[in-house]
Structure 1
Amino acid sequence: MNLQELTDHASAGRIDELNLISIEGGIYLLEARMHGAAHPLIDAQGNTLHLRSVEHARELLRAITPLPFNLVHAVVHDEMCGIRDSEEQTVRVPLSIRSAW
């Protein structure tokens, strides 16, 4: 899904939530959840869009209708210790889609 499609779907009320996924190395990926499916945001070349920070995501989303917006990342201590539960462990932190400043 590109930014224009995201804007259109958000305006029509079809987006359930936006998740900003934190990846090791300071990379963030944005996904839109729609009807239970994840749709990653892509750039003009069709590649997954890499964001630099939460504020970079907010800047990109400034024209989007306000939606539930979450920061999502894996529980790193499970990976470091080699302990994996049968269920995927993630931390979801609700954020404001508008700047916190």
Structure 2
Amino acid sequence: MNLQELNAYAIAGKVDELNLISLEGGIYLLEARMHGAAYPLSDIHGGMFRLRSVEHARDVLQACPELPFNLVHTSVHDEMCGLGPSAEESLKVPIHFRSVWAR
């Protein structure tokens, strides 16, 4: 799914939520969730659309209607104290769709 398709689906009310997935190395990927399935956002060349930060994602999504938006850390045990390396659940945190600084 590219950015134009994402915007069209969001306007049509078909997108349940957006997840910004944080990966090691400061890379973020965006996925749209529709009817329980994940659709990663792709760039103009068909590759993964890489984002630099939460604010970069917000800038890219300015034309989209406001949706539930989550930051997802895939390796919680690396991010939090007290969890062992066997923890496999992702940490999913709701965040503001629009920047709180722009209000």
TM-score past 0.5 threshold: yes
Task: Determine what percentage of the aligned residue pairs are the same residue.
Answer: 62
Following TM superposition, by how much is the alpha carbon of 1:92 offset from its aligned partner in structure 2, in angstroms?
Answer: 0.9
- Residue aligned with 1:4, SS: helix
In the aligned structure 1, how far is the partner of 2:32 from the partner of 2:25? 22
Q: Which runs of 4+ in 1 moved over 6 A?
A: none
Which residues of structure 2 form unaligned runs of 5+?
Answer: none
Amino acid at match of 1:56: H
Structure 2 CA distance for aligned equivalents of residues 68 and 82 of structure 1: 30
Shift of 1:76: 3.0
Distance 2:68 2:48 in 1: 21
The equivalent residue for 2:15 is 15
**How much has 1:43 moved relative to structure 2?**
0.5
Instruction: Output one character per residue of 1:31-88: Cα deviation in whole Å (capped at 9) or x when no partner.
Output: 000011000000000000010000000000011010000000021349xx86325xx3
TM-score between the two structures when normalised by the length of structure 1: 0.90
- Once the two structures are superposed, the pairs formed by residues 73-88 of structure 1 within 5 Å of their partners are 73=73, 74-77=75-78, 83-85=85-87, 88=88
Q: Determine the C-alpha separation between the residues in 1 that align with 2:44 and 2:78.
A: 36
Instruction: For 1:1-101, list aligned pairs within 5 A.
Output: 1-73=1-73, 74-77=75-78, 83-85=85-87, 88-101=88-101
Q: CA RMSD, aligned part only?
A: 1.6
Structure 1 segments unaligned to the other structure (5+ residues)? none
Secondary structure of the residue aligned to 1:10 is: helix
How many residues were matched structurally?
97
Distance in 2 between the 1:40 and 1:6 partners? 10
